[in-house]
Structure 1
Amino acid sequence: MESRDIKCTNSERTTASQVLADAMSVGQLSVTEFEERSSRCAEATTRGKLVDLVADLIEAPEQVLFGSHQVARQRPKDVKTTSGETSTAVDRALAQIEPSAQGAQGLSLGIFGGSTVRGIPIAAHHTTMGIFGGTDVDLRGASLKEHVTTIQAVGVFGGVDVWVPEGFRVRVNGVGLFGGHDIKVEGGAIDPADLPASAPEVVVNCFSLFGGVDVHVVKR
């Protein structure tokens, strides 16, 4: 059997997805190309399919994807290396990515009441809405389907709180009408701005009307 025909592992898929994320961060891939290749990466069944996804992005893709632990992957030159503490946080965040996780939740609602999402797989695109109520989305310990997790957070006469463990890059953007959104780094957690491009990412798109959306980056 040729090396290309060997069944790939979850760890090898994760390494390939990291390479794709790095490539997008330095302009080798557009967002559309990244999303398309990431989808194929999650569905890949053999090593050969993973190699084909990254062969035009890095040198020696077989060694990067399937080599020794010391040469887990090759980063673009302009991606900074990290300290031991930061590297550990990123590794723990990467360990939460499980493309094969079943039953991923993509919607949570708090209407005239509240709801909490915690300890279950989260879909790559999750929508949470607090309408005259509130919702909490806690990513600590959750299994995530993709390298980039996008949360659509809506607070209308209510609020949304998103809890992100350190080790994830975080982007927060959106619109606040008589309301607002904010990101808070709490309890000595590592600031997402200090993480390398290889770290997985949580994107929170906010809309608030007489309400608010707060994103909390916390220690594990």
Structure 2
Amino acid sequence: MIRVLITDDDALVRAGLALMLGGASTLEVVGEAGNGREAVERVRAGGVDIVLMDLRMPVMDGIDATTALRDLPEPPKVLVLTTFDADDYVVRALAAGADGFLLKDTPPAQIVDAVEKVVAGEPMLSPSITQQLIRQVTDGSGDDRSAEASRLVETLTERELEVALAVGQGRSNAEIAETLFMSLATVKAHISHLFTKLGAANRVQVAITMHDAGLL
């Protein structure tokens, strides 16, 4: 069972999501939080695999909460719930380490599918959205940032670089496996190595590094 924490300052939204997700055989709603601080405290208590994270909340917003969660020894996945797909808050949350985002009006079955995919390590961003986010995050980045990205890229093996570029293009694990003639397990292993070597928390940050290094 995938253990889900629902974080939203609207009690009705939390109740609706809990009812919706509670009917899925693969998911278990283990708690709710009304703001980011409550979410971080609940995750620290243990037993959470993924946080559905609203962005605009009192006390601590979703961006600061995502940052705090990423600093934990064993951080959960974070799936942002938002109203607007090109919102600056979404960009900042993904740059902070969120694993993807969903619009709040996404059909229930697709939300369940998204939760399962994110926990399995799949991206929840279309290639076009990935490129849009990269442009916004890296706009005006300087020489120091480019030099650091190039240094990090030099630590990658040839195969890891191929996978990193595919990730930067917004491809899913299955698409990478098919294109580079790898098994899914091998792709996942390479992506895990990329996160470590590049100091990345998610696929968007891998893509940003590739962009800063002049490879995308």
| TM-score computed with the length of structure 1 as normaliser | 0.25
Bigger fraction of residues in strand: 1
Bigger fraction of residues in helix: 2
Larger of the two Rg values belongs to structure: 1
| TM-score computed with the length of structure 2 as normaliser | 0.25
